[in-house]
Structure 1
């Protein structure tokens, strides 16, 4: 089956960063907009992300975008900090084109951003965090040690720029942003779904449990047997289940903008 057509769009964040995005119109519930937030070094143009958008478009319209420093977006990646402004611009655009219910679905870094955005901006009706970290600076798995090398070393940033089209800021966080496990308690009353695989080689299951345990109701936790990490491991069956969960979210689940 051919992938659904995605219509490119250009967004602008509140701090002036140009964001490359694409809208895949709904093939299902016409009032539901799903904002798809990719993982570190990902892009909405990746075939894997396009396939996920195609499946989700059976449940609502999909607005996929590249975080700052990724692909054709401007700026440099701050690896989860200022990216909440990118997601906020995507959510605002999704509402501006007519979707009255908006659910963010984030993978890995995108999951951390989705949780933090829901806590700090409260612009969505529900949040799905897939394969997300609960805390910063985690290095206890080999893949995460490789990620930190790419972020922290000049040679690593060069490899990320050349091989992955990801431009990473060389500055340190100052101050350190609110970690996902701290932010998640502020997400309620927005519904939260935490999805994690027992075969995740980046973040073990304690990250999912820490997010879920620190969150307040309404919340759900799906531990998926044999599921690895983020977009590349997500099966169509899992994405269908996530889409169905998003489609069941009632209108008006979001609350007024927070200032915390």
Structure 2
């Protein structure tokens, strides 16, 4: 037999070890960077309009007297598309906004029922998300300007009415941030809202990659700044919802949501001040509460608006709460672009 005791095994040099470690680290960093870029590009990239995307239901099929309208966003840098549905006896106007990559047609059924309940309705779609596509979008950072433009247009169309808002998914998150900046909105329904921009991205990464988001957090935030001009912490409904009180908020969320973490709803509820309502629905997916029980959904929503916009008198806000945010405050407490 051969004896192996005297066989010399080559020892790796310190230089080889360092180069190997650097190569491995560079590979890991490249993967992290690639994932961060992919997340941001998926989030903001323009979307092509499918051939039959416009072949959908309109107010015509539902027999409601909707007008095609356009109005400027807050800074008048583009026009926002919407439908305005006037009710002859309305003392209230409800502003309805769909979610990320959503169109006004997505929420048309709700709009028709709100109109039949006696409200004026303004429903719009965020620029770049609905029928107008082909330009980069964000997840609420620039979209809040469309919401504030909708508030200004609703005031112009029906200045003597009281205003409420309903939003879905990103539209709900934007409605929270926009209502905090719009004392005209006296009651808000937020369906499937995310608590923070970071949390909704983290939830998607955990569900798809099955990895902790902390690995990709810093590089994704950096790429978001480089590619879209903002950071995660500039879109945080969780920070803004406490500024809405004493105006009421209703938070709705399905507990089987695979897009927005269902735990975001209790977080938002805890951060909100009274009056507030929380409706969690078991075995319901993202924005599925309306479709799981249309009658109960509309009963709750119409009762909410009837109470706070028709029966109870307007609430008095402290001037400090309704004060428009000034530029120095934005610098010390980064908020969304609209601030």
Place the TM-score, normalised by the shorter chain, in its bin. 0.7 to 0.9
CA distance in 2, matches of 1:92, 1:128: 19
User: What TM-score do the two structures reach when normalised by structure 1?
Assistant: 0.80
Aligned residue for 1:217, secondary structure, equals coil
Whether 1:218 aligns to 2:278 is no
Q: Which runs of 5+ in 1 are unaligned?
A: 147-151, 154-168
Q: 1:259 aligns with which of 293, 304, 324?
A: 324
Alignment partner, residue 133 of structure 1: 194
Counting matched residue pairs gives 237
Q: 1:24 aligns with which of 85, 88, 100?
A: 85
Q: CA deviation at 1:236?
A: 2.2
Q: 1:37 aligns with which of 87, 90, 97?
A: 97
CA distance in 1, matches of 2:261, 2:231: 27
Alignment partner, residue 69 of structure 2: 9
Higher relative contact order (CA 8 A, sep 6+): 1
Give the CA RMSD over aligned residues. 2.9
Alignment partner, residue 244 of structure 2: 187
Deviations 1:24-65 (A, max 9, x none): 2238x6111110011001011x2x311121112122111000
Aligned residue for 1:70, secondary structure, equals coil
CA distance in 2, matches of 1:145, 1:26: 45
Alignment partner, residue 61 of structure 1: 120
User: What TM-score do the two structures reach when normalised by structure 2?
Assistant: 0.62
Rg larger in structure = 2
Is the CA contact (8 Å cut-off) linking 1:9 and 1:21 kept in structure 2? yes
Q: CA deviation at 1:89?
A: 1.5
Alignment partner, residue 105 of structure 1: 166
Q: Which runs of 5+ in 2 are unaligned?
A: 1-60, 210-218, 221-225, 326-339
- Structure 1 residues 252, 178: CA separation in 2 closer, same or farther (over 3 Å shift)? same
**Which structure dedicates a bigger proportion of its chain to helix?**
2
